Amino acid sequence: MPKEPDFIHDLNEQQKRAVRHTEGPLLIVAGAGSGKTRVLTYRIAYLIQQQKAAPDDILALTFTNKAAKEMKERIQQLIGDEARKLWMGTFHSVFSKILRFEAEKIGFTSNYSIYDMEDSKNAIKQLLRENNYDPKEIRPRTIQRLISDAKNELIYPDHYQEKFVHSTLDDITAKIYGQYVERLKHNNAMDFDDLLVKPIELFQKNEDVLEKYQDRFKYILIDEYQDTNHAQYKVTNMLAEKYKNLCVVGDDAQSIYSFRGADIHNILDFKNDYEDAVEIPLEQNYRSTQAILKAADSIIKNNESQLDKTLWTDNDMGDTITVLDNYDERDEANRVANYIKELKARKGYDYNDFAILYRTNYQSRVYEETFRRKGIPYQLVGGLSFYQRKEIKDVLAYLTLLINPDDDTNLVRIINEPSRGIGNKSLHDLMARARSTNQSLWQVLKNVDQIDLYKPAENSVKDFVAMINELKNDLKNNEKLINVTKKLLEKSGYMKSLVEENSPKSMTRRENILELENAISYFEKNNNNASLSSFLQEISLITDTDKYDEEKPAVTMMTVHAAKGLEFPAVFVVGLEEELFPVGSRNNEEVNIEEERRLFYVAITRAQEVLFFSHCRSRYKYGEEQRKRRSRFLDEVSSDVVRTETGSSIKQDKDRFSEKNSSSSQNGDTRIEYDWKKPLYKKKNRSSNNTQVYYDNPDEDPFQVGAKVEHNIFGQGKIISRSGEGEKTKVVIYFKERQQRKTLMLRVAKLRVIG
């Protein structure tokens, strides 16, 4: 056996154990900042250096392209160019690559399209219309979410009706789900969920294919295992079944993606799935000060479902955490901006050393306005993606047709973009012909002579088909992608239409398209045998975090979800108020407080040296100012490490949400006492002839957030927020059957509490 490499001495004892354990199932419980990326990269390098495996015997799965790229570069530094042969990337990128090789075995071609969220939504919207549903009443995004949830749980259309049809919405979803699956196959397309589900179908239907990839990937490593969903769990278990050399790395305390199907039990139950699995905890934190680590530990200890570990660090105690008590969100943004300038001057930080973390994207607006006014540069992670802009989506739709003309969704998008005389009536007739003859729209367009179509529209269709065929031939003749793209933009008239419009908006769109040309040119120069298919696949799998530029001299603003895996010298966690962080109930669903607490833990552990918590006493929502209560999490943080701006201890009420400090309402719900000095309710005497009853105490009022109520017209619903006082009290109610939110004046709504 080769001598152990020198790089093994860079690790602590637990990290060495994890790297040296090469055979059999292994669970590495890696606390925040404990060097898990180093352990993963060193373990892969060690497997190759010790000749346990060739590079292409190893499959490494990550959750971001950025993480995969960083790991591959580190491994290359350790062992050289052999690292290029590794199969390493996100679940979606790796399995989409496998599907390119094997797609024909499940009824697709290798040039299948990958639908992003908007493509998927548009396909569902079209199906709703074909079934005579109004997309304004039955929201395509809602149907899309329900279908996505079902796919990730491996619940297929023929079983959906059995499991989930409890309402009109479920019934519609069951109907659309089956048609959507058929439409995708008809279009030779897969959505993001299919990139995980279809490999399972492939392996189940083709045992020889499964065995081929089991033998190919003798060692499998998975990063961020706590974020895997059921489909990811299933497909990796299938691949690992033969050799069982499955190494998973994760931290149950950072499981924050249940809303997209992640199942924390995958990591909690790993040792039940693999009885001979070895568990190695990584508990030494290299990132944060002792004060920050103590704050994180005091928070996460309140959760019941967790693996046993205690983080520690050799770092200094560091500064205490400062709590900012603000009047409203504008006050909060101004004070955060002032602290950034003060810390920059006092500690010598650069702007990219700062991060502002919030629970929801809409919170960024007031910071953007404030920073622009104060001249503070910033970068926003999680806004509208470059590849989601209309003009970019249009050009990509054209390019997609060159390799997959049967993709009806993309064809409909650009057949009359820019306008070429194929109006809605003509398009409707063409699509009706396609449906009635079970052909793709492209097949109908190629034979437009067989249809009684408006003559000018028919001529436009012929010109369109001729253009697409000419560009397809250019690709077949190995013309450069950038040249084909430029020719497409000229022949289609797309760029000309933007120039002729000559508005600031059209000029911005033109500049964006020129930037897309730069991206295509760069891709072509930096990839051997670059193909249009591989380019479209790469950009379809780009995530928000992949676009984060850590070198950009600007303050970073992002949600806590987007921040996972990153670190900053100074962090501001803002909006720490009840119903914001932790978030309030959504879509009639109860909030998972343990997951919200894990999310707060993730926010805390992004900080290396300086940490601020911030909350507001009031905040505007739905156009009205609402009083806010500070987050319960501020009462859970160790009082040893948090201080007010004046340096005094913050007043905490750790029992604020316990049973002894809550009361039961008339509807049987348990609610938290309000602790505002200023009353939220006006006193008014009750009388027999006065139906407008007000309450001296909030706990007497049954119409609180979370209460289930009934309205004479809208039916049953749930109060999701309320605002105002006395006669001006308003409630926002989500009526599930109607899929609508309604804002009603409480004094005239005639609501009835139903339990």
Give yes or no for residue 587 having a pLDDT over 50.
Answer: no
Structure tokens at 550: 């850590």
Model pLDDT, residue 173: 92
Active site positions, annotated: 36-37, 223-224, 254, 606
State yes or no: 35 annotated in a binding site.
Answer: yes
Q: How far apart are CA 575 and CA 587, in angstroms?
A: 21
Model pLDDT, residue 66: 82
Q: Which of 602, 611, 551 is nearest to 319 (CA)?
A: 611
66-75, 156-165, 552-561: range with highest mean pLDDT: 552-561
Give yes or no for residue 740 having a pLDDT over 80.
Answer: no
Average pLDDT over residues 242-257: 93
Model pLDDT, residue 671: 29
State yes or no: 174 annotated in a binding site.
Answer: no
**pLDDT band at residue 492, thresholds of 50, 70 and 90?**
very high
State yes or no: 37 annotated in a binding site.
Answer: yes
Give yes or no for residue 691 having a pLDDT over 70.
Answer: no
Give yes or no for residue 407 having a pLDDT over 80.
Answer: yes
Average pLDDT over residues 613-618: 94
Indicate the average pLDDT of the chain: 86
Instruction: Estimate the crossing angle of helix 481-492 against helix 532-540, to 10 degrees.
Output: 80
User: Maximum distance among all alpha carbons in the chain?
Assistant: 93
DSSP conformation letters of 455-515:
HHHHHHHHHHHHHHHHHHHHHHTT--HHHHHHHHHHHHTHHHHHHHH--HHHHHHHHHHHH
Q: Any long-range contacts for 714-723 (C-beta under 8 Å, 24+ apart)?
A: 714/738, 714/740, 714/742, 716/754, 717/588, 717/742, 718/585, 718/588, 720/584, 720/585, 720/586, 720/588, 721/579, 721/584, 721/621, 721/622, 721/626, 722/746, 723/621, 723/622, 723/624, 723/625, 723/626
State yes or no: 83 annotated in a binding site.
Answer: no
Report helix, strand or coil for 376.
Answer: coil
Model pLDDT, residue 221: 96
Report helix, strand or coil for 553.
Answer: coil
Q: Is 529 or 101 the better-scoring residue by pLDDT?
A: 101
Average pLDDT over residues 522-549: 81
**pLDDT band at residue 755, thresholds of 50, 70 and 90?**
low
Model pLDDT, residue 220: 96
8-67 pLDDT per residue, tens? 999 999 999 999 999 999 999 999 999 999 999 999 999 999 999 999 999 999 988 888
State yes or no: 31 annotated in a binding site.
Answer: yes
Model pLDDT, residue 485: 94
State yes or no: 668 annotated in a binding site.
Answer: no
Give yes or no for residue 683 having a pLDDT over 60.
Answer: no
Structure tokens at 388: 């989601």
